[in-house]
Amino acid sequence: MPSKFAQLIVFVSTLLLSACGGGSSAPSVTVSGIQANQLKYGQATQFTITGFSLDKDINISTQNCKGLALVAGGTDSSKSVTCTISAVGVGAVSLEAKLADGTVLKSASFDVPNPQVSMVTNLGTMVVELNPTATPLSTDNYLQYVNSKFYDNTLIHRIVTAGIFVAQGGWLTPAPAVQPGQKAAIALEVNKGLSNLKGTIAMARSSELNSATSQYYFNLADNVALDTSSGGYAVFGKVVSGIEVLDAMASVKTTTAYGLADFPASSVIVLTATQTK
């Protein structure tokens, strides 16, 4: 993923030192620490800079963290900024505090894990790990739906165990009714080194290549033909815990209902989907 760079002037003093009286020398600016409150891909993180005389001119810059902004209410010993993490890996995100003349006061880098989503269903719980390095569009799209709670209380509305073996969801409520709040379609991300193997998650779409919105599917078996069939289907993550839940889905009997083939005869419900990393 291309790196992101942002810079912010944290505080610019509007008073001349001579106005502070006495002609005494100004205390030197020091930064003793930089800490992050959380390190979740795609979510806002607050960085707190601690030190001495932080009410002087300081420049803060970040790499791979978007939307840098100053948090109100700082003091001369503590300032905070926020931004949204946009990369994963060892040392993926960095922050640097400098004087106005470019002198570096302190820098720090932070490891960011691949995002994970805990999906609680009425058949058990799965943990899905996403791959934003290979598939940033699909990952970001899925996480937006997760973090807006779009997937909570939705159906796995299609289970196919002949020809291809998939369990598809992200569209219907248990009513059933179409879940409101779908976002614009995203571009297809294929040929990214990820394959439709058992336990992976991929974006469902229509015959139009760039038509994926909220619907996803889990591969219940190896479906490598889907890597290229009709232009291919974009894998963006995999189940890292709870693979037995997919096996349980594969055993659910299906019928034709509400005009849909391969509809589960007994409801398979995603109760909650929550980003945990």
What are 156-169's pLDDT values in tens digits? Answer: 999 999 999 999 99
* Domain extents in the chain: 5-112, 116-275
pTM of the predicted protein model:
0.86
Residue 20 pLDDT grade (very low, low, confident, very high; cuts 50, 70, 90) = very low
- State pLDDT tens for residues 114-131: 999 999 999 999 999 999
Give, as one character, the DSSP assignment of residue 42: T
Quick one: what percent of the chain has pLDDT higher than 70? 90
CATH number of 5-112: 2.60.40
- State pLDDT tens for residues 48-76: 999 999 888 889 999 999 999 999 988 99
Q: How many CB atoms lie within 10 A of CB 256?
A: 10
- State pLDDT tens for residues 189-226: 999 999 999 999 999 999 999 999 999 999 999 999 99
Q: What is the Cα–Cα distance from 197 to 200, expressed in whole angstroms?
A: 6
Give 229 or 25, the one with higher predicted confidence.
229
Pairing relationship of beta strands 5-11 and 216-219 according to DSSP bridges: unpaired
CA 99 to chain centre: 33
CATH superfamily of 116-275: Cyclophilin-like (2.40.100.10)
